[in-house]
Amino acid sequence: MAIKYENNFPAVEKLLDSNVERALIASSELVRSQAKTNVTAAGRVDTGKLRDDINYKLVKDSGYSGGMASQVGSPDKHAIYNEFGTGEFAENGAGRKGGWFYRAADGTPHFTKGLKPIKFMRNAFRDTKQEVQNIYQQELGKGIK
């Protein structure tokens, strides 16, 4: 009696990589959408740049578990100020106290005590956590018998 061994590991690994990528894309789109909704709900849509710049990218790197990750966020230079706040409203008391004057692009002087944090990214991650977990549960096992 002969035993035949067939190694299906390469095919399974390819299938799992595809499933992980599909799950990363679906979950990233969900988080991105929620973050954009959070910015709009907070009323921080003067030009729409902050909201419109929120996006994600897949990163393939052996330093990540599974060799792949997704980065969701905004490259907008004001995103961090909207997330954590500034001045007297900055989280953990890290901002300037007493307010300050600044000139707008048109030369008009303004006084501010800072910007309240809206936590649009952190809340997006928290608000979609269960849905993201469901996406991974549905996607990772697809095609495996």
Separation between Cα atoms, residue 145 and residue 143, nearest integer Å = 6
User: 29: buried, middle or exposed (CB in 10 Å: 19+, 13-18, 0-12)?
Assistant: middle
Asked whether residue 67 carries a pLDDT value surpassing 90, the answer given is: no
> Cα torsion for 115, 70, 26, 13, to the nearest 10°?
-170
Separation between Cα atoms, residue 130 and residue 145, nearest integer Å = 26
Asked whether residue 139 carries a pLDDT value surpassing 80, the answer given is: yes
Asked whether residue 65 carries a pLDDT value surpassing 80, the answer given is: no
Please report the pLDDT score of residue 87 as a whole number.
Answer: 95
Asked whether residue 106 carries a pLDDT value surpassing 80, the answer given is: yes
27 within 8 A of 21, measured Cβ to Cβ:
no
Asked whether residue 144 carries a pLDDT value surpassing 80, the answer given is: no
User: Average pLDDT for residues 30-44, to the nearest whole number?
Assistant: 97
Separation between Cα atoms, residue 23 and residue 61, nearest integer Å = 17
Confidence of residue 85 (pLDDT cuts 50, 70, 90): very high
Please report the pLDDT score of residue 141 as a whole number.
Answer: 84
Please report the pLDDT score of residue 94 as a whole number.
Answer: 84
Asked whether residue 125 carries a pLDDT value surpassing 80, the answer given is: yes
State in Å, rounded, how far the first CA of the chain is from the last one.
27
Asked whether residue 89 carries a pLDDT value surpassing 80, the answer given is: yes
